[in-house]
A and B are shown apart, each in its own frame.
Chain A
Amino acid sequence: MVSTLDQIFVLLKHWLVGLLPSVLQPAAGVLLSVVAIVCVFPALFALTVLLERKGLGRMQNRLGPNRVGPFGILQPIADAIKSLTKEDIVPLRADALIHFLAPLVLVVAVFLEFAVVPMGRNMVLVDMDASLLFFFSIGASTELSVFMAGWSSRNKYSLMGAMRAVAQMISYEVPLLMSSVAVVMITGSLSLVKIVEAQNQYTYGLPHWNIFTPWGCAGFVMFAIAATAETNRSPFDLPEGESELVAGYFTEYSGFKFALFFLGEYLGMFSISGLGTALFLGGWSAPFSFLWWVPSWIWFFGKVMLSICVLIWVRGTLPRLRQDQLMNFAWKFVLPMTLLNLVDVALWRFLGEGWLRWVVCSAVMLVAYVAAALTGLRRDHIGPRSYRYAE
């Protein structure tokens, strides 16, 4: 019973595919999974937008949207109708073709990323050996769409937003990759399915998730920072920094195209959270061994939503950085730390089982963090100040 529930989607798919003649079965199987992804994640997007607006509202001592449907749960539908019926405005001198293609390029690329993310036991669309590599190469193509949008709009704000976005995404791709490499070094595989399975073991009922190791914890923090920047979320939302650049690269988009950009951005958030979950949070594995009976896909989606909630929380609190600070942060802090993390991983492997590797690895990362933080702040003369008073 438990395993049926766990595998319910897989069984359902097999049953549906089994109804078809055997010639069509491989194609139909893939198609069915694609349809599932294309349906589930936009639905999750709608839910997340609502959650975000509600959550931000609560953080700001207000209710958030609550007028459409009970507790405002139909708000996403209202938003969808609104964006579909709005006039699609293309600036007169814009490059109409590229302006049209840009949101499509973004959404297609982001959907492709989901192909390799394991969403439950046996629930992955394509289980390829180099799925991590696939994920990053597809993810890199989103930069293209951002620049297409910014360039084709013929708007100075769009252009500046696109420049910022490209610079930022390229810079943060490096630490993102580097922090993932740490996991690959331990697991010895680029396949996300294998990485998750390697973490699905328990000692004294506690899981072997990568985040529960010194290098994994540091790696996860780095990964989270880079992923936030990669998805242009606050505090790294400079490309669309509304107080400076109006709306950044999609200033000139309206109606459904704008909605597509919005969708693409949130889907990117899901996919990268899914990747982070798979790499560091044990993917679909349960947090305690006695919870083994809960279906694996619930764990996966639960973890993804949890990381999304953290992103919302951060968004509700933090102001954004400046462009040069952002780049400095990437190249002068996050990247060295991820490189050091690779050394840390090597140490972890070299030292073998025992308490020594815990102490050494933790100490290396902590000392490096404190030193880097303090020197960085001192260099920029940043710190709390005291004030004098005149009577």
Chain B
Amino acid sequence: MLGEGILKGLAETARNAVGSFVSKDRLTTVEYPEERLPLPEASRNFPFLVYDGTDWEKGLRCVACQICEKECPPKCIYIDKSKDKKPDAFGRPQIYPAKFDIDISVCMSCQICVEVCPFEAIKMDTQYELSTDDRFGGLLLDRKELAKSNEYYHQIHPTEASEVDAKLAAEKVKADAKAKAAAGAAAAKAAAAAAAPKPAEAAAKPVVLADAPAAKPQGEGD
């Protein structure tokens, strides 16, 4: 019958108009600045660099292996390797990024950098209110702006962060055991040779071991 479908449609809109006053389901507006949706834990926006401890410069996990720079699809990461080594949060001397810039005006939030990072050094942030009136400099974040503490990481992605911490701890235990074994072997060797081992050598050896995984994937990623 002519008009029946039109009336049905009118009834539907009327139901929705009335429903919008009663049911939350039919009023989906979120009044943004006053009201915010809770972000799911997996939510991601732009990357940041994780540091351990309190001093961001010292605690950066990044060892400037440049894998993320190579894998980044839009090529928005710029890294300069340091010439020297500095002790990291655990006191092991590491190469560190002398420059680590991310141009978040280019970044497409894909988290490929997070996936390829072998050191759990780069993670995705959930900050989204980043607008700035400085078009050129404002969206180019340097390593100071990128560095966020591990506590912050725990705050935004608790499950993932604890997994990462457990993994790192396991790795550390392994590395320590290896270092200990190496040191023990060295000490035994030294004892056998009855020569006093130089303390610097003993310290340097485990570092080489710890560096090994850094060198390997880098070669692979080329």
Q: Which of A2-55 contact B (CB under 8 A)?
A: 55
Of the candidates A55, A59, A318, the one having the most CB atoms from chain B within 10 angstroms of its own CB is: A59
Contact status of A59 and B17, CB under 8 A, knowing A373-B2, A373-B3, A376-B2: yes
Question: How far is it, in angstroms, between the C-alpha of A313 and the C-alpha of B15 when the chains are bound?
Answer: 11
Q: Is the CB of A373 within 8 A of B6?
A: no
A325: interface (CB < 8 Å): no
Q: Is the CB of A61 within 8 A of B28?
A: yes
A86: interface (CB < 8 Å): no
A247: interface (CB < 8 Å): no
B109: interface (CB < 8 Å): no
Q: Please report whether the interface of chain A is mostly helix, strand, loop or mixed according to DSSP.
A: helix
Q: Is the CB of A63 within 8 A of B3?
A: no
A58: interface (CB < 8 Å): yes
Q: Is the CB of B13 within 8 A of A59?
A: yes
Contact status of A61 and B2, CB under 8 A, knowing A313-B13, A317-B10: no
B16: interface (CB < 8 Å): yes
Chain B interface residue count, CB cutoff 8 Å, equals 19
Q: Is the CB of B26 within 8 A of A61?
A: yes
Chain B positions within 8 Å of A55 at CB level: 17
Q: Is the CB of A62 within 8 A of B29?
A: yes
Question: How far is it, in angstroms, between the C-alpha of A373 and the C-alpha of B13 when the chains are bound?
Answer: 24
Chain B positions within 8 Å of A373 at CB level: 1-3
Contact status of A59 and B16, CB under 8 A, knowing A313-B10, A317-B10, A318-B9: yes
A314: interface (CB < 8 Å): yes
B12: interface (CB < 8 Å): yes
Contact status of A61 and B10, CB under 8 A, knowing A55-B17, A376-B2, A377-B2: no
A60: interface (CB < 8 Å): yes
Contact of B27 among A62, A313, A316 (CB under 8 A): A62
Chain B positions within 8 Å of A66 at CB level: 31
* Minimum Cβ distance to chain A for residue B197 (Å): 74
Q: Is the CB of B13 within 8 A of A62?
A: no
A-B contact count (CB 8 A): 48
Chain A positions within 8 Å of B9 at CB level: 317-318
Question: How far is it, in angstroms, between the C-alpha of A66 and the C-alpha of B20 when the chains are bound?
Answer: 15
Question: How far is it, in angstroms, between the C-alpha of A316 and the C-alpha of B12 when the chains are bound?
Answer: 11
Contact status of A63 and B2, CB under 8 A, knowing A313-B14, A317-B12: no
Q: Please report whether the interface of chain B is mostly helix, strand, loop or mixed according to DSSP.
A: helix
Chain A positions within 8 Å of B2 at CB level: 369, 373-374, 376-377
Question: How far is it, in angstroms, between the C-alpha of A376 and the C-alpha of B3 when the chains are bound?
Answer: 12
* Minimum Cβ distance to chain B for residue A361 (Å): 20
Q: Is the CB of B3 within 8 A of A318?
A: no
Chain A positions within 8 Å of B10 at CB level: 313-314, 317
Q: Which of B1-59 contact A (CB under 8 A)?
A: 1-3, 6, 9-10, 12-14, 16-17, 19-21, 26-29, 31
Chain A positions within 8 Å of B26 at CB level: 61
Q: Is the CB of A63 within 8 A of B27?
A: yes
Chain A positions within 8 Å of B31 at CB level: 63, 66
Question: How far is it, in angstroms, between the C-alpha of A318 and the C-alpha of B28 when the chains are bound?
Answer: 22
Chain B positions within 8 Å of A62 at CB level: 20, 27-29
Q: Which of B137-176 contact A (CB under 8 A)?
A: none
Q: Is the CB of A61 within 8 A of B16?
A: yes
Contact status of A61 and B3, CB under 8 A, knowing A313-B10, A317-B10: no
Q: Is the CB of A316 within 8 A of B1?
A: no
Chain B positions within 8 Å of A61 at CB level: 16, 19-20, 26-29
Question: How far is it, in angstroms, between the C-alpha of A313 and the C-alpha of B12 when the chains are bound?
Answer: 11
Q: Which of A328-387 contact B (CB under 8 A)?
A: 369-370, 373-374, 376-377
Contact status of A58 and B6, CB under 8 A, knowing A63-B27, A316-B13, A317-B13: no
Of the candidates B19, B28, B29, the one having the most CB atoms from chain A within 10 angstroms of its own CB is: B29
Of the candidates A55, A60, A66, A377, the one having the most CB atoms from chain B within 10 angstroms of its own CB is: A60
Q: Is the CB of A63 within 8 A of B6?
A: no
Question: How far is it, in angstroms, between the C-alpha of A212 and the C-alpha of B10 when the chains are bound?
Answer: 23
Chain A positions within 8 Å of B3 at CB level: 373
Besides the known contacts A59-B13, A63-B27, 16 further A-B residue pairs in the complex with CB atoms under 8 A apart: A59-B20, A61-B20, A61-B26, A62-B20, A313-B13, A313-B14, A316-B17, A317-B9, A317-B10, A317-B12, A317-B13, A318-B6, A318-B9, A373-B2, A374-B2, A377-B2
A-B contact pairs, 14 of them (CB 8 A): A55-B17, A59-B14, A59-B16, A61-B19, A61-B28, A62-B27, A66-B31, A313-B10, A316-B13, A317-B9, A317-B12, A370-B1, A373-B3, A376-B2
Residue ranges of A at the interface with B (Cβ–Cβ < 8 Å): 55, 58-63, 66, 313-314, 316-318, 369-370, 373-374, 376-377
- Top 4 A-B pairs ranked by shortest CB distance? A373-B2, A58-B17, A59-B17, A317-B13
